[in-house]
């Protein structure tokens, strides 16, 4: 999954959906990846730690609903394993650890057909900041969960943006058994104070993640969020129209970040000048009567 040698300004983590894999997600997001390269971003595709058994897989007809495909040679992966066909009482520790292993050690869980020496990161690429996450379905749910406290969880710089295709917020009520993950999400009153930007994308004909569920995280983060609908189902739209809308949104986030940095620098420079003027004034006052 080589992207060619070039200078990048940051990395974006790609998190695949349920019953998918890094290699399948790589193939399904080719147009988006190529456009991101032009914007100066390296795309890094991670594999979920769970390989689903035949008993855990949906039927062949249902696999297509998950934007996957029936292939006896493929390893169907997940970021968590569903219990009783629900997302209650799940464990995310292994998935969070797999992201940490990439960040700290450069390790990526690989299927045998994913191994490609040309994908090895250079020393310069290893030092690149992770600026964003792009996730689909279950991968988007995981990305949306870790995004807010990404810097605290992984001891790196905060993310600048997350793009969530068919994502959803986990039910973190006590009854769901997922309440230990509730603190990962931002409090509604704190959303305006964070710099992270969210783009939520869902299909109007999606029968896997219905609209109300797809909007669950948007409703919590809408003061820092944008919303994009497409007329299709449960997949990442790969047409030029939607690729351009996504990459234009990233460019807009970049420009807003530059403006915010400029304003912060102006405020800091003004404060430094005020401190300098005050120090000069104090020196002048101290010199009174010493002649």
* Structural domain includes residue 290: no
List, as one string, the DSSP characters of 56-91: GSPPHHHHHHTT----TT---EESS--BTTBSTT--
pLDDT on residue 72: 60
164-211 residue pLDDT tens: 999 999 999 999 999 999 999 998 888 878 889 999 999 999 999 999
pLDDT on residue 224: 94
With a pLDDT cut of 90, the percent of the chain lying above it is: 67
Helix (H, G, I), strand (E, B) or coil at 40: coil
pLDDT at 232 over 80: yes
Residues 137 and 166: their CA atoms lie apart, in Å, by: 5
pLDDT at 114 over 50: no
* Structural domain includes residue 121: yes
Residues 208 and 32: their CA atoms lie apart, in Å, by: 23
Residues 79 and 102: their CA atoms lie apart, in Å, by: 15
Give the range of the structural domain holding residue 95, as residue numbers without chain letter.
10-262
pLDDT at 28 over 90: yes
* Structural domain includes residue 285: no
pLDDT on residue 76: 92
Long-range contacts formed by 142-147: CB under 8 A, 24+ apart: 142/15, 142/79, 142/80, 142/92, 142/95, 143/13, 143/15, 143/167, 144/168, 144/169, 144/198, 144/217, 145/92, 145/169, 145/170, 145/181, 145/184, 145/185, 146/96, 146/99, 146/184, 147/196, 147/198
Average pLDDT over residues 77-105: 94
pLDDT at 282 over 80: no
* Structural domain includes residue 291: no
Residues 144 and 67: their CA atoms lie apart, in Å, by: 20
* Structural domain includes residue 178: yes
* Structural domain includes residue 274: no
Residues 134 and 132: their CA atoms lie apart, in Å, by: 7
Whole-model pTM: value is 0.85
Lowest mean pLDDT among 45-54, 237-246, 278-287: 278-287
Confidence of residue 159 (pLDDT cuts 50, 70, 90): very high
* Structural domain includes residue 125: yes
* Structural domain includes residue 114: yes
pLDDT at 40 over 70: yes
pLDDT on residue 115: 47
pLDDT on residue 204: 95
pLDDT on residue 259: 84
Q: State the CB neighbour count (10 A cutoff) for residue 179.
A: 13
Confidence of residue 251 (pLDDT cuts 50, 70, 90): very high
Residues 54 and 43: their CA atoms lie apart, in Å, by: 30
Residues 23 and 114: their CA atoms lie apart, in Å, by: 6
pLDDT on residue 117: 46
Average pLDDT over residues 242-270: 84
CATH classification at residue 225: 3.40.50.1820
Q: Which two tokens stand for residue 181?
A: 């993950």
52-88 residue pLDDT tens: 988 887 755 555 556 565 556 678 999 999 887 789 9
Summary mean pLDDT of the chain: 87
Q: How many domains is the chain partitioned into structurally?
A: 1
According to DSSP, the β-strands at 130-136 and 10-15 are parallel
262-275 residue pLDDT tens: 776 666 666 666 66
């Amino acid at each position: 999954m080589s992207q060619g040698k070039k200078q990048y300004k940051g990395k974006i983590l790609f998190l695949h959906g349920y019953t998918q894999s890094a290699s399948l997600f790589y193939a399904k997001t080719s147009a988006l990846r190529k456009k991101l390269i032009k914007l100066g971003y390296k795309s890094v595709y991670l594999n979920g730690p769970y390989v689903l058994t035949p008993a855990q897989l949906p039927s062949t007809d249902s696999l297509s609903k998950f934007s996957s495909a029936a292939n006896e040679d493929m390893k169907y992966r997940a970021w968590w394993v569903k219990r009783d066909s629900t997302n209650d009482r799940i464990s995310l520790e292994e998935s969070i650890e797999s992201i940490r292993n990439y960040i700290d050690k450069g390790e990526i869980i690989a299927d045998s057909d994913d191994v490609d020496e040309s994908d090895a990161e250079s020393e310069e690429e290893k030092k690149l900041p992770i600026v964003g996450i792009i996730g689909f379905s279950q991968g988007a749910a995981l990305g949306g969960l870790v995004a807010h406290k990404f810097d605290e969880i992984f001891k790196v710089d905060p993310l600048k943006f997350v793009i969530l295709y068919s994502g959803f917020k986990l039910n973190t009520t006590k009854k769901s058994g997922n309440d230990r993950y509730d603190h990962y999400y931002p409090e509604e009153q704190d959303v305006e104070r964070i710099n992270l930007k969210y783009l939520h994308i869902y299909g109007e004909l999606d029968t896997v993640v219905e609209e109300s569920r797809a909007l669950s995280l948007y409703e919590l983060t809408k003061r820092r969020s944008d919303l994009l609908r497409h007329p299709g189902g449960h997949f990442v739209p790969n047409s030029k129209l939607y690729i351009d809308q996504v990459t234009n949104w990233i460019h807009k986030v970049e420009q807003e970040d530059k403006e915010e940095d400029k304003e912060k620098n102006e405020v800091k420079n003004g404060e430094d000048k005020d401190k300098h003027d005050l120090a000069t004034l104090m020196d002048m006052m101290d010199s009174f009567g010493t002649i």
